[in-house]
Amino acid sequence: MRLLRQILESFRFAWQALRSNLLRTTLSLLGVTVGIFAIIAVFTLVDSLERNIRGSLNFLGSNVLYVQKWPFEFSGEYRWWKYFQWPEPTYKDYRALAERLENARAVAAMSGRDGVTIKRANSSIAGRILGVTYEYNQTSEVAIEQGRYFTPQEQEGARNVVIIGYEIGETLFPGQDPIGQAVKIGGLNFVVIGVQEKRGTGLVEFSRTPPDRRCMIPYGTYAKLFQSFNPSITIVIKGYEQDEGLQDLEGEIRGLMRSRRSLKPAQDDNFAINRPEAIAKAIGGIFAVLSVAGWVIGSFSILVGGFGIANIMFVSVKERTNIIGIQKSLGAKNYFILFQFLFEAVLLSLVGGLVGILLVYLLSFVQLGSLDIQLSIGNIMLGLGVSSIIGVISGILPAFTAARLDPVIAIRAK
């Protein structure tokens, strides 16, 4: 209890010392404030960017592989002249994989076309049409706000039914229930059976058409209307959770595709098996560089702030030498004097850190396009931790100097 009381007394002395020199205190904490602001601001922006981008990629699904013509490559030279010669995946490839893959939970095919006009009466909107097979909602996220997904009969019969995007529904059916009503796509009438949830615009999109302007129709219907314009399809394959890294599934896909294309053992693949994680991994590398940049920028400011705090603490020791002598003559222990000045340095640094964190919090109210900035508890704790460490490092030498003063000499000091 005595030790605790002395520690609290040291805090009180430190607080009084900071209050008595308010201007000096303010100038001293500016370096720490700028440093903590730089580090936490960069970390907060990086975290917000990563969260937004990963949210944009959620629709791709998890444990999913994509069989496509063009591979995902984010390092080195992109050999487009080589990939250009590869054949497009076909609907027959999809059927073969769907029937023969043993390590797949679901296999779907999809193909899309931008710039298609969706009409209703005198209203129209340009959007993206996506033709999908029935299993698509088992491989990728299809969030439906109203209505329902396709039935197997609608898919097999290539019926003229459509699931429209949120913005399409708002534009063509303002204040109305679109379910069961008709829209015109490619000169044909389609019955609306569902409306997708509002997604907004993410930072990563694979089409020039916003997500809320996209609609889905059965693949058979799409093939009749648009396949002659865009014969390419993407085969989406979802694996089981037990397949660590989807290695078994990827090997099985590669074997079947090579067999279908009659590739010899010495020949390279002429198709791509893409993973959505490759995009996240590439983005993660960029975020790592940004984080290092934040540390470097902030460290210079914190270094200046630390020297400023150390300088102020040495001045404080000089100014209060007489008081230190009186305290020691009355029985104050060395650790009490040490804590008194060390707590003052830590408190000064913490105040600077808190101001920096407050500035980042205010920054979170600024709207940067579709980016939602959020200051996390982890980044707040990081800022406070770094501030405390800087305070200890900056104040330890002045505190030791004060604690080792001879009481007789200190009392005589002027």
Q: What is the pLDDT of residue 218?
A: 93
Residue 239 and residue 96 share a domain:
yes
Statement: residue 362 has pLDDT above 70: yes
Tell me, yes or no, whether 80 lies in a domain: no
Residue 37 and residue 147 share a domain:
no
Residue 192 and residue 109 share a domain:
yes
User: What CA–CA distance (Å, rounded) separates 309 from 21?
Assistant: 13
Tell me, yes or no, whether 391 lies in a domain: yes
User: Angle at CA 341, nearest 5°, toward 339 and 344?
Assistant: 105
Q: Give the pLDDT confidence of 295-346 residue by residue, as tens digits.
A: 777 777 777 778 877 887 787 778 777 877 877 777 777 777 787 778 778 8
Tell me, yes or no, whether 76 lies in a domain: no
Q: Give the pLDDT confidence of 1-29 residue by residue, as tens digits.
A: 565 665 566 566 666 666 666 666 666 67
Q: What is the pLDDT of residue 195?
A: 93
Tell me, yes or no, whether 81 lies in a domain: no
Q: Give the pLDDT confidence of 248-274 residue by residue, as tens digits.
A: 888 888 989 998 888 888 888 888 888
Residue 223 is part of which domain span?
Answer: 87-270
Q: Which of 142-156, 223-237, 322-336 has the highest mean pLDDT?
A: 142-156
Compare 142 and 21 and report the one with higher pLDDT: 142
| Domain count of the fold of the chain | 2
Residue 118 and residue 216 share a domain:
yes
Residue 305 and residue 358 share a domain:
yes
| pTM exceeds 0.85, yes or no | no
Q: What is the pLDDT of residue 54?
A: 65
Token couple for 386: 């770094």
Residue 210 and residue 171 share a domain:
yes
Residue 186 and residue 107 share a domain:
yes
Q: What is the pLDDT of residue 55?
A: 64
